[in-house]
Chains A and B, each alone.
Chain A
Amino acid sequence: MTQAVEQRDRTAAAREPAVWTRGLAKNYGEVQAVKGIDFEVAPGEIFGFLGPNGAGKTTTIAMLCTLASPTAGEARVAGHDVVTARNEVRRNIGLVFQDPTLDGYLTAEENLRFHADLYGVPRAIARERMQIVLEMVGLWERRESIVNTYSGGMRRRLEIARGLLHSPRVLFLDEPTIGLDPQTRSSIWTYIKELKAREEITIFLTTHYMDEAEYCDRIAIMDQGEIVVLDTPESLKASVGRDRVMIKTEDDDAAIAALHERFDIEAVIAEGQVTFSVGEGEQFVPRLFAELGVPITGVSVSRPSLDDVFMSYTGTTIRDAEGSVLDQQRAMHSMMGRR
């Protein structure tokens, strides 16, 4: 193949969506884990999949990574069909799962060498590449340590380094910061942002931390197997446009009834507090104390955050949504593990 043709191929590849799906669906028996979703991710984007555990994020990733076959619909990753061109997809993606997938009895270097061999990275390049990725996550000095001696944060960093070793075009990060302390979480994000600057790479991640979703170029909110909304974090917040007020009262039911009667506001209980949104939160609070008629023991007003976006599109906060689907998620998890 001539260089010109190859060049044309690569520009074509750069223009086509990094991820593309149409009607993508997955059922596990009776359970509809993913109910026919359509979306596209542009090359070079940091794309966030947001939703409570059990919303279908992990199942969607599993299909995009060729670990699960779709029940219906199609999906292409880096231009390759996830069903008919499985190996091409695998070659072009890097994966960091929420559960560790390192061999704790090997050293960091041995884990990476294993990966390089499995992905057929030419030996001469593998050595150089290994140093680049290990230095990037700050583990080059510790490369000869057995992974079992690593802390949780170091392991996650090593997984990210490994996911990048074969220069994937799309890096999937499934809950990259789950279970990590805030300091490590922020350092992981530093790496992710640095990555975007250094490598030509699309990052597709799932998270249920609202604050992390803000780092994404675009986010899709997923709930009960469907994408409820997809936009940039700014537009999503603008679309809510109202302040969130949470109050603690001595009688929540009476407070909700009173809000409905006197202010024509529909409130719900979220995270154990009476919650509602109003246009001008700070001006509203004095009226609330004066006119509610139910003793208030605490109040907080917040500007729209992605939490409110999530709330306004799904009718629940992400933490409350999680409790109800935890069992479903466990079932899904054990199913994933068996593959």
Chain B
Amino acid sequence: MASESAITSTGAPPQVARVRVPGAGLRSDLRAIRVVWQRELIRFSRDRARMVTALVQPILFLFVLGTGLSRLASAGTHGVDLRTFVYPGVLAMAVLFTAMFSAASIVWDREFGFLREMLVAPVGRGAIVIGKCLGGATVAGFQGVIMICIAGLVSVPYAPVMILEVLILQLLLAFALTAFGVMMAARMSQMQSFMALMQMVILPLFFLSGALFPVSGLPTWLNVLNRLDPITYAVDPIRRAVFAHLDITETARHALAPGVTWWGWHLPGIFEAALVAMIGFGLLSIAIARFSRTE
């Protein structure tokens, strides 16, 4: 039978339009991706508490923590405000928590049964996982935009190139993190266990990533762990993009945003971004494979 849809009349009363659901294909998968993505955005826009958290939490970190610590750290920052220094790290953190929350929603969906509505639909499970990841990335991207808006408050200039670079990088980070979260959520049926696991995994990844410290001249153990942490490769280019537009001395730039090295080789920002994207796609494929299995 032809794969396009057709209304066919039946012997039933005339007001009943019978639907012939079309065959599987790229178009139906794209439509599924879109609707899953849309749902994430609708839910986010209706969730006031999440919106407020999204706004307040980074500001809290940036101003309360940043201001507090700057009283201790003024000597080591070469005259750069500590809040300016941690800005890229806080931006990454904001994206991180938002992405995790989005990924967690797949566990909620399971607990509240809605996941089943998605899993029995005649579309590839991949479409659902991709929609979910894109939705999470979009919401986290929105969070990043808020962070970009407050950049001026910590003396980061609104340079268009920088904004574009940061936006792309944080979308990549958000996508990879949501894919990671969804992959973990594939085998979890309870919110508590997911949250516990996330805290166990996400906080160390965040602290090791160099979001809150420069990544050169570290003790060997920390250096190794830092280089193994995938988030490092998202935080570093974001910081370098921001620092490239700061009005500071070359010495300060070199000390505070030294860039990640592999055995002395300075990784270009584009390479780091590609690495994050690759990791993201890898995690996404695992997530799809995990969701595609039927008992």
Name A's B-contacting residues (CB within 8 A).
1, 6, 9-10, 65-69, 87-88, 90-92, 95, 97, 99-106, 110, 113-115, 117-122, 125, 128-129, 132, 165-167, 198-200, 334-335, 337-339
Query: In the complex, what distance in Å separates the CA atom of A224 from the CA atom of B118?
Result: 30
Name B's A-contacting residues (CB within 8 A).
1-2, 5, 7-8, 10-13, 15-24, 27-28, 31-32, 34-35, 39, 42-43, 46-47, 109-114, 116-123, 187, 189, 294-295
- Centre residue among B11, B12, B16, B120 by max chain A CB count within 10 A: B120
A-B complex: 6 closest residue pairs judged by Cβ atoms: A117-B35, A90-B122, A118-B121, A101-B113, A120-B28, A91-B122
B101 to chain A, nearest CB (A): 14
A167: which B residues are within 8 A, CB to CB?
18-21
Query: In the complex, what distance in Å separates the CA atom of A101 from the CA atom of B108?
Result: 11
- CB nearest neighbor in A for B113: A101
Q: Are B114 and A101 in touch, CB under 8 angstroms?
A: yes
B111: which A residues are within 8 A, CB to CB?
337
B52 to chain A, nearest CB (A): 17
Q: Are A90 and B121 in touch, CB under 8 angstroms?
A: yes
B110: which A residues are within 8 A, CB to CB?
337-338
The residue from B19, B27, B118 contacting A125, defined by CB atoms under 8 A apart: B19
The residue from B7, B15, B46, B120 contacting A95, defined by CB atoms under 8 A apart: B120
B50 to chain A, nearest CB (A): 11
Q: Are A114 and B112 in touch, CB under 8 angstroms?
A: no
- CB nearest neighbor in B for A338: B189
A117: which B residues are within 8 A, CB to CB?
31-32, 34-35
A99: which B residues are within 8 A, CB to CB?
113
Q: Are A120 and B117 in touch, CB under 8 angstroms?
A: no
- CB nearest neighbor in B for A121: B19
A113: which B residues are within 8 A, CB to CB?
35
Q: Are B123 and A105 in touch, CB under 8 angstroms?
A: no
A121: which B residues are within 8 A, CB to CB?
5, 19, 21
Q: How many A-B residue pairs have CB under 8 A?
A: 130
Q: Are B31 and A120 in touch, CB under 8 angstroms?
A: yes
B175 to chain A, nearest CB (A): 22
- Centre residue among B1, B24, B117 by max chain A CB count within 10 A: B117
Q: Are A337 and B189 in touch, CB under 8 angstroms?
A: yes
B13: which A residues are within 8 A, CB to CB?
198
- CB nearest neighbor in B for A100: B113
A90: which B residues are within 8 A, CB to CB?
120-122
Q: Are B21 and A119 in touch, CB under 8 angstroms?
A: yes
Q: Are B117 and A115 in touch, CB under 8 angstroms?
A: yes
Q: Are B39 and A120 in touch, CB under 8 angstroms?
A: no
A127 to chain B, nearest CB (A): 10
Q: Are B31 and A1 in touch, CB under 8 angstroms?
A: no
B113: which A residues are within 8 A, CB to CB?
97, 99-102
Q: Are B16 and A110 in touch, CB under 8 angstroms?
A: no
A42 to chain B, nearest CB (A): 17
Ordered by A's residue number, 25 sampled pairs between the chains whose C-beta atoms are within 8 Å are A66-B294, A67-B294, A87-B24, A87-B123, A102-B113, A102-B114, A103-B39, A103-B109, A114-B35, A114-B39, A118-B32, A118-B118, A119-B21, A119-B121, A120-B28, A120-B123, A121-B19, A125-B7, A129-B19, A132-B17, A167-B20, A200-B18, A335-B295, A338-B110, A339-B119
Given contacts A120-B31, A122-B5, contact A103 B114 (CB under 8 A): yes
Q: Are B7 and A120 in touch, CB under 8 angstroms?
A: no
- CB nearest neighbor in A for B29: A120
- CB nearest neighbor in B for A103: B114
Q: Are B122 and A106 in touch, CB under 8 angstroms?
A: no
B37 to chain A, nearest CB (A): 11
Q: Are A1 and B12 in touch, CB under 8 angstroms?
A: no
Query: In the complex, what distance in Å separates the CA atom of A95 from the CA atom of B42?
Result: 25
B118: which A residues are within 8 A, CB to CB?
118
A132: which B residues are within 8 A, CB to CB?
15-17
B239 to chain A, nearest CB (A): 36
